[in-house]
A and B are shown apart, each in its own frame.
Chain A
């Protein structure tokens, strides 16, 4: 071992030097001298090696940090794109006095699997939709963007007066099932609100039933036969249902990120809490105020707990 040789040589030189300069005779072959010098060299060796290891780990860590930052940068860009696809319903409908609307989506991760949409089919009919892809994160959000885009193009293809949410759901089911290698499915609710009459025609594919209510009274569900989510049964015969809203009535559409939000005790927020927030709202409240009230209530309930699902809510109020 070169170190041993070096140690021996240095010891010898040291011994000679000590005698020559200081007239001291060191017993260079004494075990103690050898031991001391050897120990010194081994310690130096160990320290040098540790230093090299530390430097290697640090540069590894630095590389990982850079990669993570890059991935995060890309995820944040994806989030901006996804949120950008969501319509800004409040400004979009600012000039439509017959409809007060507010909507929000809070993804559980950087990108979500929930989306909502709302646009005018013609000057009197408002189309609105909400959807929830099974799963979260990038695969779900990609699938949701495809579904939303498809749904809108199908809706705009027909004459506004002819848009039948049941037929639309059947077509969307066929189209989306076509290119679905991951076998993801989407729960969806689509509706058309006629702003002249307050009639809602709608179709529900496995989604949580929306709630309609007048402030102060108990909310009731928009009912109808249960149908499966889209891409569960390719040839399902979805049907349209109708409901008449009264003037000033609220319609609240949401995903299960609201009702299934959990607190630290693993309890769910549930329908009952949602019902009580909704029926307790001030009669003069705007859609935005109602939305904020529900979101605040869910956040307060789930405080301290990271959301496990995307939270999406859309509130409409018909004001003829």
Chain B
């Protein structure tokens, strides 16, 4: 028998209580995995979407919200010819309720710009020109909207024809309703307005060069801001709110887990008072008793973490199909996130064990001779 066996036997003593405590921690960790996975997924999905379009830099004005605020299309004229900028594409990207779908990504693109080039037709055709009252749907968007080529799509007050289904090479692209920029400007009454400019930088530019170029562009356009693709989301108010809410909810769930483990370990120590006193009478050092309780607690955390990650992965698959976010993001369930979640769970276990361990170290061995 090893000391590890001693620790595990302590947990096996009350299997139902141990199981319920594990469930408590697991739910907390599952919340971490699901919520943080989704919020990180938002970032990685949008970054992947931009990368698939070949975008290196995004010009936007979305500090205060998740969706970019409109700015004049003429902004592009001031940056298009800056050395290092090889191509630009004006966009108007918005989240809109379309027919029965609660929230869809609507991506209006300057006709003929590079952002159309990554779209591969799965069926149908591309719009004939920028004035054709037509849209193409990403494969997921077509699935969510239950549309096929030839169907009509109600976008606000306009009735548009679905002329093609496309594969965009990224989750966000596949979840988008894509149309020409002038068409959406007309439908939404935003003539002359855009809310993003995708920029392709010159080949061979490294990250540092791109950052420098962003600084240079930002100085030229005080009404907007140029940032490397993907990073522009991180600094936005909207993303911060989502991130903060994810962590806030997760921490709340973790706190419940901490209280659960503390309660379990305290009960375990109180129940085992005499047993601990016997161990002391048999020559165990107080430090070993403390280690035993802390290890039991850490073990609860570890097991709860592993189960929680499993629950989180399952939960996230349900969440990503929720009507509000379906097709907009793919959860980022990286190994890093899972390891972080398990690490948090172990910390929760150890943290929860401190007080019970301290209480156990205060027990007097003379209790062994009573009862």
Do A and B belong to a common assembly? no
Q: Using CB atoms and an 8 Å cutoff, list the residues of chain A in contact with chain B.
A: none
